Amino acid sequence: MYVFLHDTRVFLDHLTSVDFTALGIACVLQFLRLTVRTVAWRTIIAAAYPATRVRWLPVLGAYLAGVGLNAVTPARSGDVLKLFLVKRRVTGSSYPTLAATLIVETLFDAFVGLALLLWAIHLGVFPSLHALPDLPNIDWRWPLKHPLSLKIGVPLLVLVLALLIAWATRRVREFWHRVAQGFAILREPRAYLTGVVTWQALSWFFRLASVYWMLRAFHIEASVRNALLVQVAQSLSTLLPITPGGAGTEQGLLLYLFRGTAARAALLSFSVGTHIAVVAVNLALGAAAVALLTRSLDFGRLREQASEDEASGDPERAKVGDGVTGAPPP
Angle between helices 107-123 and 95-105 (to 10 degrees): 30
Is pLDDT larger for residue 53 or for residue 256?
53
Q: Give yes or no for a contact between 2 and 32, defined as CB atoms under 8 angstroms apart.
A: no
pLDDT computed for residue 273 by the predictor: 87
- For the beta carbon of residue 124, count every other beta carbon within 10 angstroms: 6
Q: Give yes or no for a contact between 7 and 268, defined as CB atoms under 8 angstroms apart.
A: yes
| R_g of the chain computed on alpha carbons | 21
Domain ranges in the chain? 2-312
pLDDT-derived band of residue 100, with 50, 70 and 90 as boundaries? Answer: very high
pLDDT digits (tens, 9 = 90+) for 187-236: 999 999 999 999 999 999 999 999 999 999 999 999 999 999 999 888 87
Is pLDDT larger for residue 122 or for residue 10?
122
Note the residue count of the chain.
Answer: 330
Least confident of 41-55, 180-194, 300-314: 300-314
- Rounded to whole angstroms, how far apart are CA atoms 80 and 155? 27
Least confident of 53-62, 133-142, 272-281, 300-309: 133-142
According to DSSP H, which parts of the chain are helical? 2-13, 20-48, 56-70, 78-87, 95-105, 107-123, 141-145, 147-171, 173-181, 189-192, 198-217, 224-237, 247-257, 264-294, 299-312
- For the beta carbon of residue 12, count every other beta carbon within 10 angstroms: 12
- Rounded to whole angstroms, how far apart are CA atoms 274 and 254? 12
pLDDT value at 83 more than 60? yes
pLDDT digits (tens, 9 = 90+) for 164-199: 766 656 556 667 788 899 999 999 999 999 999 999
**Residue 102: closest CA among 210, 237, 191, 196:** 196
pLDDT computed for residue 263 by the predictor: 83
Task: Report the chain's mean pLDDT, rounded to a whole number.
Answer: 79
pLDDT computed for residue 313 by the predictor: 52
Angle between helices 247-257 and 224-237 (to 10 degrees): 140
